[in-house]
Structure 1
Amino acid sequence: MTDITRRTTLYGIAAASVALAGCAETVDPTPGDRNGTDGADGDPGNGSEDGDGTDGDDGDVETAVQQVGEALSGPVWDRERRRGFCALVTEEHDAAWLLRNAPEETVAFVEETDFSESVLAYVESVGPTTCHGELSFADVGVEDGTLVASATVGGPDDDEDACGEAITFSGAFLRVTTDARPESARVSITDGWDETATVRSDDPLIDPDGLRGDVRPDGDPPNVPASFECDVDGFERHPQGYEGEVNWGGGGGAGSDAGGDGPLVLRITTEGDDAADNTTVLRGNRFWVELTNVSAREVHVGNQGKYNLEVRTESGWTELRGADGDAAFEYTDEAIGVSPGESLEWEFELTESGLVEDGPHADALRVCPDLVPGRYRFVFWGAADLAVAFDYEG
């Protein structure tokens, strides 16, 4: 049985470790007011505060800050491996995934931004108590097209503050108005434990190594059949929707030629205690293929039915499914938006009927001949021809 679903990634994810590079390594954060920028005095509430930014290589900047009071990303990054997260918003629709559960005042702040002259940097971090709920910004500037800043998680104002001991994630939008709008962002973040590291807007939101599942088996297949031929007259195989090589385990979105380091990551997981790992599937067991957007921007893919199921033979990879007669394998041409941290999932049962039931063209497709031991793969040609593989030992 094929079950195609869409969901947001909620399981434990290890986010990317942060690398320090260039001049950002030596940034010495100078915290400003807990709600304003560059030390400007302001209302300690959750409103925004305007102020003059520091001079950058690309001219003067004006800044404003909107405290969010929570982490709008979920958060899905791992606080043990990184100090925080940042995203650069250059168009209003780029912030849509962050605003799904945002407070009204935060939504209004984004909507009031004139993106013809301003950008927004969204920054998150974390601290050890309930008093670590806001971020302050300093050293804001633009260097060679990159927005640079330092961000610090605020703590209790004095020893008399009543702070509950709880891991607290915080988020804030920094609006930057400048003659030359930056195209990327680099922020030195100091969290509530006074640990500092640099994050960048092009860093992945999720570390692919922290995702469950595998890409393909190691070593040789248990069997390589000479062919996979159906002896039924008029049987027509489902065509391959891709050309040439595939991108194992990851790549870009629809229409992209990106390789395995793109924003989309594909993994396979299996059920059953007898499975040696996530790349061995027993007959009758279920397996899942999951596509996750690990980046900090929305990525578009094609129809979820745009995939091939194949077995490796001596003559190459051969599609398992086909139909009798003059079958028309047509798919709608659409773009499905996958938000950062969100996943698309396909579920199958490893039987002849289970590989087609409830899938695309289920009323016409069937597997022929019967499955044989060997190496099989799933190729999603709705986005950069992404593939995962597993072994079936019979």
Structure 2
Amino acid sequence: MPLAPLDVGMDHTRRDALVGSALALSVATAGCLDFAAGDGPQGPEGTPATLTCEDDAFVRLGQPFEASIARTLVETDETALELSSEGTTETYGQSLRLVLRNTGDAPAPTRGELAYSLQRETGEGWLDVRGSTTGEAVELPRSEGSIDTSSAYSWDLTLTESGIADAVDDLELAVCPPLGPGTYRFVYWGLVGAPPIGAEFELVG
């Protein structure tokens, strides 16, 4: 049904209100964009001596593996798996996308998709950037799983403090200190009967 024509004065008033609202939204959005554009990595740069957190309740995640890290490809007695990432340089605030594919002929048993570490290179070695905020040490959830042949696990991690911490449900995790430009690595240590497999990348602002 066609709408009745509006009074000219009312139409003028409504048009002014819409223009004013659009302008206010534009200004607010521009402010958010400006803030986001300057909100880069705030943590230590390069290769810090260690990772230090000022929060006394923060307990850093340990390294749940001792074996050397396989790069890109790992073989078990039964099958083979390949870890791929989009690049070796990642920008703060963007997504880190990784895929672990079973390229062999048999299923690969795993400890679940959350059995990974996200570490930074320091003078003390590789340290996980995440930790518990409860004052007590915690372990990442493990579950019995499997990557079937021609199948894969995939991760899409937002490279911010909250994005990394929130990727694990049911655990109160945080990233401390904040991420800074430097060398990091993703390590999946959940392959049963196989060494951990990892991919390094440089984080930039």
Classify the secondary structure of the residue corresponding to 1:312: strand
Does 2:126 match 1:314?
no
Structure 1 stretches of 4+ with a deviation exceeding 6 A read: none
Q: Please, which runs of 5 or more residues in structure 2 have no aligned partner?
A: 1-44
Structure 1 counterpart of 2:139, which letter? F
Does 2:142 match 1:332?
yes
Q: Measure, in 1, the Cα distance between the counterparts of 2:160 and 2:140.
A: 24
Q: Measure, in 1, the Cα distance between the counterparts of 2:150 and 2:132.
A: 37
Q: Measure, in 1, the Cα distance between the counterparts of 2:148 and 2:173.
A: 31
Deviations 1:54-95 (A, max 9, x none): xxxxxxxxxxxxxxxxxxxxxxxxxxxxxxxxxxxxxxxxxx
| 1:244 positional shift | 3.6
Q: Measure, in 2, the Cα distance between the counterparts of 1:288 and 1:368.
A: 22
Classify the secondary structure of the residue corresponding to 2:89: coil
Q: Measure, in 1, the Cα distance between the counterparts of 2:108 and 2:198.
A: 18
TM-score (norm 1): 0.38
Does 2:112 match 1:298?
no
Match for residue 57 of structure 2?
234
TM-score (norm 2): 0.70
Structure 2 counterpart of 1:368, which letter? C
Match for residue 32 of structure 2?
none
Give the number of equivalent residue pairs: 157
| 1:330 positional shift | 5.0
| 1:223 positional shift | 2.2
Match for residue 85 of structure 2?
268
Q: Measure, in 1, the Cα distance between the counterparts of 2:99 and 2:142.
A: 21
Match for residue 71 of structure 2?
248
- Aligned partners of 1:241 and 1:306 also within 8 Å: no
- Aligned partners of 2:67 and 2:196 also within 8 Å: no
Q: Measure, in 2, the Cα distance between the counterparts of 1:350 and 1:333.
A: 25
| Residue in structure 2 matching 1:380, options 179, 188, 193 | 188
Q: Measure, in 1, the Cα distance between the counterparts of 2:149 and 2:124.
A: 39
After superposition, the Cα gap between the structure-2 partners of 1:372 and 1:330, relative to the gap in structure 1 and judged at 3 Å, is closer
Match for residue 132 of structure 2?
323
Match for residue 21 of structure 2?
none
- Aligned partners of 2:114 and 2:140 also within 8 Å: no
After superposition, the Cα gap between the structure-2 partners of 1:360 and 1:376, relative to the gap in structure 1 and judged at 3 Å, is farther
Larger radius of gyration: 1
After superposition, the Cα gap between the structure-2 partners of 1:360 and 1:298, relative to the gap in structure 1 and judged at 3 Å, is same
Q: Measure, in 1, the Cα distance between the counterparts of 2:127 and 2:138.
A: 19
Classify the secondary structure of the residue corresponding to 2:160: coil
Q: Measure, in 2, the Cα distance between the counterparts of 1:333 and 1:344.
A: 14
- Aligned partners of 1:352 and 1:366 also within 8 Å: yes
Match for residue 371 of structure 1?
179
Q: Measure, in 2, the Cα distance between the counterparts of 1:317 and 1:332.
A: 22
Looking at secondary structure, tell me which structure has more helix per residue: 2
After superposition, the Cα gap between the structure-2 partners of 1:296 and 1:244, relative to the gap in structure 1 and judged at 3 Å, is closer
Q: Which structure's relative contact order is higher, taking Cα pairs within 8 Å and 6+ residues apart? A: 2
- Aligned partners of 2:97 and 2:154 also within 8 Å: yes
Which shows bigger deviation, 294-303 or 312-321?
294-303
Deviations 1:346-378 (A, max 9, x none): 1101111111213254x4011000011111101
Q: Please, which runs of 5 or more residues in structure 1 have no aligned partner?
A: 1-221, 270-277
After superposition, the Cα gap between the structure-2 partners of 1:358 and 1:343, relative to the gap in structure 1 and judged at 3 Å, is same
Match for residue 393 of structure 1?
204
